[in-house]
Amino acid sequence: MKGAVIVNQTQNVTVIMVDYDQSRMNDLYYQIVKSSPFITVIATSTDSIDLKQKLDSMEPDAIFMQYHMNDCNAVDIEKYCREKDLKTMVFATLPSQIYNVNTVMYGKRNGIKEIFSSDTVSPQEVGMRIVDTVHSFRKEYEKITGQDFSNRVRKEIVTKHVTKVVSQRIIVTYNTKGGVGKTTIAVNLTIAIKQSPYFSGKRIALLDFDSGGGNVSTICNVDDEELHSKNLAAWDSIEENEITRDIIEDLMIQDKNGIMILAVPLNLVQAKNATKYELGEKIINGLKKHFDIIIIDGPPNISPLADAALEAATDVLLVANPEGQSIKQLTKLTSLLNNIEDGDRILKKMYLLVNQAHKPTKYDMKLDRISGYLGKPILRYIPNCDEVLEALHSNGQKQAIEINKEGEYAKAMKGLANDLTGCYPVGDFDAETAKEKKKRKKSFFGIFGG
C-alpha cells in the first residue's frame, strides 16, 4: 500500500486522538503519525460520548487528548478506563498558557501517564513518549502475567492522512456498495449543519449525484411536479458562468429548512443523460460561488458524476456497515485509488464512517478491525436507530434527526457536522441550548462592554 509503513507488530501502538477542535487535531495527528512509524491512529473523537463508545469497542493502547474538553477532562476519561478495566493509557496536552504544576500533579496523581505543554513539546517528542511508555508497560505486563502481549496488537499499517482546512466545505457521502446509509447520512447531516445556531447565515446545498436511482427527493418529499423541471438534466444546457442566484432559484428546490436541493430527474432517460463528468464539474464549480457548504449524496457505483464529486470534495465520507461486504467494497475502492496516478490526493480527504444500518449481529466486524482493514481511522460510529425507519414512514415530514432531537442519531449527526465544519463548538449538540449560551455571551458583553 502506498504511503504505508510496515512495522514489527509487537512495536505497534494504537492511539485514539481526542480534541474538540477537529482541525487542530487533524494537524497534530498528521504530524505525530508522520514522525512515529510505530503509532497507528485508529480513531479520532471530539466529544466524550463518542470517545467512550470507541474506547469500549477498540480498547486502544493509548489516548492522546486535550486535557480540558467541552464535556469532560482527561481525569474523567482516565477514571472511565479504570472502571471499565481497559488497558488504555491516557496522555494529555494543555495549552502552555495554562500549563501549571498543580494541574500536572493532580492529573498524574489520578493516573494520567503524561501531560505535555502544547507549545513547548514537539509532536515527535509526544509520539516518542507515548511509544516508549506503552512499550515499557507491555514488557512489565509480560513479566508479571507471563503472557505474550503481541496477541493484543492489532494493525501494522500506518497511513498518512492530511486534511486541508478550508472554510468552504464540499462533503460527499460515498461507497460503491448500495444500501449502507449514504443518503440518510447526507440528508440528516445537511439538516444538522443548517440547524446549527452558529451557522444560521450559511448557505447550504444538497446535491443528489446518484443519477441511476437517487432518492433524496423522495426522502425529502419533493413535489413531483417541481421535480420535472428542477433537476440535474436541466443544468445540461447552462454554462458555468451563467449559474446565478436566479438560475439557482429556478433550478433548485428549497425545502422547509431553507436547504437548496438539486435532485435527479424522475425520467430515467433524462437521468441516464445526466451522468457526464463535465456536468458534475460545472454544477459544483458554479454552486461554489453561491454556497458555503455543499453536500453531495454519492451513487453506489463508480461513475463520471461520482468522479467529479470526489475530485471537487474537501471531505469524502466513506460510509461502511460493520459487515464484511461493505468493507470489502471500500478496500477495492481504496486500492484502486492507491494504484492510480494522483489517487493519493483523493485518499487523503477520505474519512471512514461506520454506520450501523442493520441491528447489530454477532457477525459484525469490530471497529478496530475495520479501521485496520482500510488503514484509516474511524471518524464516527453511527448507531442503529429506530428514528431512521420512523422517518421513512413520515412521508418526508420529519427526518431522523428531527424526530428525536436528543436521540443517538441526532447526536451522532450533530457530532459529525461539528467534526466537519465546527458548527457545534460548545460541544453539547442541542441547538436550543447552544442558542441560549450564545445569547448569554452576548448580554455579558452588553453589560460590561458598553
Ligand X SMILES: Nc1ncnc2c1ncn2[C@@H]1O[C@H](COP(=O)(O)OP(=O)(O)OP(=O)(O)O)[C@@H](O)[C@H]1O
Q: Does 15 help bind ligand X (rule: CB under 6 A)?
A: no
Closer residue to Mg ion (CB): 117 or 301:
301
Query: Which residues have C-beta within 8 Å of that of residue 307, sequence separation ≥ 6?
Result: 277, 280
Q: Does 326 help bind Mg ion (rule: CB under 5 A)?
A: no
Q: Which 182-201 residues touch Mg ion, going by CB under 5 A?
A: 182-183
Q: SS3 for 241?
A: helix
Q: How far is the CB of 180 from ligand X (least distance, A)?
A: 4
Q: And the C-alpha cell for 295?
A: 453536500
Q: Does 188 help bind ligand X (rule: CB under 6 A)?
A: no
Among 228, 389, 395, 433, binds ligand X (CB under 6 A): 389
**Looking at beta carbons, which residue is closest to Mg ion?**
183
Q: How far is the CB of 233 from Mg ion (least distance, A)?
A: 19
Among 180, 274, 283, 431, binds ligand X (CB under 6 A): 180
First to last CA, the chain: 60
Tell me which of Mg ion, ligand X, none is bound by residue 357, counting a contact when its beta carbon lies within the kind-specific cut-off of 5 to 8 angstroms: ligand X
Interface stretch with ligand X, choices 27-35, 265-273, 349-357, 434-442 (CB under 6 A): 349-357
Interface stretch with Mg ion, choices 37-45, 177-185, 234-242, 259-267 (CB under 5 A): 177-185
Tell me which of ligand X, Mg ion, none is bound by residue 368, counting a contact when its beta carbon lies within the kind-specific cut-off of 5 to 8 angstroms: none
Interface stretch with ligand X, choices 56-64, 152-160, 345-353, 383-391 (CB under 6 A): 383-391
- Residue burial 315-348, b: 16+ Cβ < 10 Å; e: rest: bbbbbbbbbeebbebbeebbeebeeeeebeebbb
The string of DSSP letters for 167-214 reads: SSEEEEEE-SSSSSSHHHHHHHHHHHHHH-GGGTT--EEEEE--TTT-
What is the Cα–Cα distance from 270 to 265, expressed in whole angstroms?
6
Interface stretch with Mg ion, choices 92-100, 180-188, 198-206, 241-249 (CB under 5 A): 180-188
Q: SS3 for 29?
A: helix
Dihedral angle over CA of 138, 141, 142, 145, nearest 10: -160
- Residue in 318, 334, 326 with CA at minimum distance from that of residue 364: 326
Dihedral angle over CA of 297, 303, 304, 308, nearest 10: 40
Closer residue to ligand X (CB): 88 or 188:
188
Cβ atoms of residues 272 and 259 within 8 Å = no
Closer residue to ligand X (CB): 159 or 184:
184
The contact set with Mg ion (CB under 5 A) reads: 182-183
The contact set with ligand X (CB under 6 A) reads: 178-184, 210, 300, 355-357, 382, 384-385, 388-389, 392
